[in-house]
Chain A
Amino acid sequence: MRNKETYELTVTSKLEALPLPNLEDAIWSRIEAQLDIDLPTDDGNGGNTPTPGSPSGSWWLKGTGLFILAVAIISFFTLTKSKNENGPAQGSGEIIPPHIDSIAQDKPPPDPNIRQTPKQASPIITSNNSKDPVIQVDSNSSTSLVPPPITKDSLQVVNSPPVGFTPVKDSGTTKKKSRGVKGITDSDYKIVPSKKDSS
C-alpha cells in the first residue's frame, strides 16, 4: 500500500458514495439457488424451520415417498399372489425343476408306423440294412427340398449300391390325427421300386 494522491482520495470518496442498486433480494435469490446446488443443507429446506401446512415444508415429499412405497408393496403382493395361483406350488420361493421321467411317461408311445427323425432342414440319407437309401424330408421345414441328381460317383455308401431313392415325408414328432380310411397306414404309401436297376 502507498500514500494516495489528493485526486485519488477524492475519487475514492466519491465512489464510496455511489447509490446502491436495489438488487439485494434478487442477488440473494441467485446466491441461494447456487448454494442449493453446491452446498445443499441436511434438512433439504434451506435451513428453515418447517411449519405445519407450509408449502416450503417437506411434508409433501414424505407423503409422496410413502405413497410410492405403499404402491410398491401392494404391487409386490399382487404379483406374488397371481404367481401362486397360476404356477405350481412352490415352497419359500425355491424353484423345483420338472421331473423329466414323469413327463416322458405322460407322453404317448410313438406310433411304430411313424418314422421319427430329429428336426433338421437338410435331407438325410439313411442306409441301415436295407438296400435302398431313403431320403427323409422334414415336413416342418419351410425350405423346399429338391434332391440333387444322384449318380454313382456322388454316393459313397458301401454295401448298398445306389439303385433308387424313395422319398419319405416325415410326419414329424407329433402324432397327427388319423385321416381317411382306417387300416391304411403311412407305410402303405411307401413307394418301392418293383425292379432293381439292371445297371
Chain B
Amino acid sequence: MLAVETDINLLLEGCLANHRKSQEGLYRHFYGFAMTIALRYSRDEHDAADIMSHAFVKIFKSIKSYDAQKGSLHAWIKKIIINEGLDHIKSRKRFSENVDVETIEAPEVNNAALEQMGSEEIMNIIKRLPPATHAVFILYAVEGYNHREVSERLGISEGTSKWHLSEARKTLQQQLQHLKT
C-alpha cells in the first residue's frame, strides 16, 4: 500500500513537470476507476471514451490545483469525471424538459428482482432514460447526493430533481416486472 502511494506521488511529481510518461502512468493507474464512473453517464463505450479523454486532459492541465490536504487524489479525479459526465449528458438533446412536479410519486423498487439482474442489464435500463432523468438517477442513487446537491449540480429545482428520480424508479420497476413475467 505504501509502495503504491509512493508510486502515485512520483507520478504526480512527473505530471506537475509535464512529463508524458508520468501522465501516461497516472492515466493507466486510474483507468479502471475512472472508466467505471464514466460508463454511468454514457450510452455506449464511445461516449465513455469521450468523457475519459476530455476529463484526463483537464486533470493534467489543472494538476497544479490539486491539494492533497483537501482530499484524496481519487476524490479529485472522481469529481472531474462526474463533471465531465454531466456536461456530456447536458449536451444531449432534450435535457431540459417541462415536468409536472405536482404529481411526484415514490414507487418502490423490488430489490430482490434487481439483485438477480446482471450489471449490463441494469445499465441498459439506465441509459435508455431521458438525459435529465439519467443524470438525476445516477447522482442521487449511485453517487449518493441529496436533492439539493443534485439540483445545484444540474441547475434545476429540487422538485424537478425529485420528479426525475420518481420517473427513473418507475421505469426501473416496470422493467423489473417485465423481466419477471
Contact = CB atoms under 8 A, between A and B. Distances in A.
Interface stretch (A24-32, A105-113, A142-150, A165-173): A24-32
Nearest to A18: B119
Contacts of B57: 31, 34-35, 38
Interface residues of B, number: 42
A11 interface: yes
Given A16-B36, A34-B53, A35-B57, 5 more contacts: A15-B123, A15-B126, A34-B57, A39-B18, A47-B19
B76 interface: no
Given A10-B114, A47-B20, A31 B53 contact: yes
B101 interface: no
A30 to B, nearest CB: 4
Contact of B28 (A14, A26, A28): A28
Interface in B31-84: 31-32, 35-36, 39-40, 45, 48-49, 52-53, 56-57, 60-61
A191 interface: no
A23 interface: yes
Contact of A11 (B20, B48, B53, B122): B122
A20 B142 contact: no
Contacts of A194: none
A20 B18 contact: no
Interface in B111-131: 111, 114-115, 117-120, 122-123, 126
Given A12-B141, A21-B35, A6 B61 contact: no
B95 interface: no
Interface of A: 1-2, 4-8, 10-12, 14-21, 23-24, 26-28, 30-32, 34-35, 38-39, 41-42, 46-48
Contact of A23 (B24, B49, B122): B49
Given A12-B142, A26-B49, A35 B20 contact: yes
A35 B60 contact: yes
B117 A14 contact: yes
5 contacts: A4-B141, A14-B114, A21-B35, A24-B31, A28-B28
B114 A27 contact: no
Given A6-B111, A35-B60, A47-B18, A15 B119 contact: yes
B8 interface: no
A7 B109 contact: yes
Interface centre among A24, A27, A41 (most CB of B within 10 A): A27
A4 B144 CA distance: 7
A34 B144 CA distance: 33
Contacts of A35: 20, 23, 57, 60
